[in-house]
Amino acid sequence: MSNSTALRILAISGSLRSQSANSLLLKALSEMVPQLATFTFYEGLEELPPFNPDKPQDIPAVLHFRKLLSQSDAVIISTPEYAFGVPGVLKNALDWVVSTGEFNEKPVAAISASPLTSGGDKALESLLYTLTALGTIKDEHSSLSIPAVKKKINESGEITDEDTKKRLQLLLGRLLFSVQQRIDTPRA
Ligand SMILES: Cc1cc2nc3c(=O)[nH]c(=O)nc-3n(C[C@H](O)[C@H](O)[C@H](O)COP(=O)(O)O)c2cc1C
């Protein structure tokens, strides 16, 4: 497949930290299948105002986010867990698009990564509920929780743990398969 027909993936990190493990994981994922998929990294979480259904919906930052979603074939989210939940900035972004439809029938993959042994599993569970509310396409192979992430990725963003690398490759492969399936069998 030439790069002009590569599948377009929008990557969203739930962390605003410059050295975020979740952002590094997304970067590592983007380098796994360069001939099959192009990655765009959404970096506008901080620009989105707090969601308020009473506000006009044509706020430039919101429109930009919606445009990136519309232009993507699939979305991958990797998030830390804060206080047993999804970081507020990520949940806020998802709240902006609950009613606008860009996520509807969009194949997604969800990752949580944490330095703790729980792997941020509560945030992941919560994120999956939200992705269900948004009408995304996903199944039991669409999510991955990564415990002790600091031992599995180095500061350059290289995944140093073979098992984690394999799981990420599998997750990405399933996502691309899901996108291809959707293209091959368009819904009525
Ligand atoms: C305010 C705060 C709350 C946190 N709560 C949790 C938590 O509930 N569960 C967890 O696994 N890690 C928690 N952590 C640790 C984060 O998982 C850790 O900072 C992680 O590296 C963030 O991901 P990042 O490297 O992508 O920024 C918390 C960190 C902060 C700053």
Q: Is the CB of 15 under 6 A from ligand 1?
A: yes
Give the pLDDT of the chain (188 residues) as one tens digit per residue.
445 679 999 999 999 999 999 999 999 999 998 888 999 999 999 999 999 999 988 999 999 999 999 999 999 999 999 999 999 999 999 999 999 999 999 999 999 999 999 999 999 999 999 999 999 999 999 999 999 999 999 989 999 999 999 999 999 999 999 999 888 886 66
Q: Does residue 77 form part of some domain? A: yes
Q: Is the CB of 107 under 6 A from ligand 1?
A: no
122: CATH? 3.40.50.360
Ligand 1 centroid vs 104 CA: distance in angstroms? 29
What is the predicted pLDDT for the residue at 3?
Answer: 55
State which residues form the domain around 27: 3-182
Structure tokens at 185: 């069998």
Q: Is the CB of 20 under 6 A from ligand 1?
A: yes
Its sign, for the CA torsion 20, 21, 24, 30, is negative
Q: Does residue 187 form part of some domain? A: no
Q: Does residue 80 form part of some domain? A: yes
Domain count, the chain: 1
Q: Does residue 70 form part of some domain? A: yes
| Whole-number Å distance between alpha carbons of 70 and 18 | 26
For the entire predicted model, the pTM comes to: 0.96
Of the chain, the end-to-end C-alpha distance in Å amounts to 27
Q: Does residue 171 form part of some domain? A: yes
What is the predicted pLDDT for the residue at 67?
Answer: 98
Q: Does residue 85 form part of some domain? A: yes
Q: Does residue 188 form part of some domain? A: no
Strand partners, 77: 12, 110
| Whole-number Å distance between alpha carbons of 180 and 183 | 5
Residue nearest to atom 3 of ligand 1 (CA): 82
Q: Does residue 153 form part of some domain? A: yes
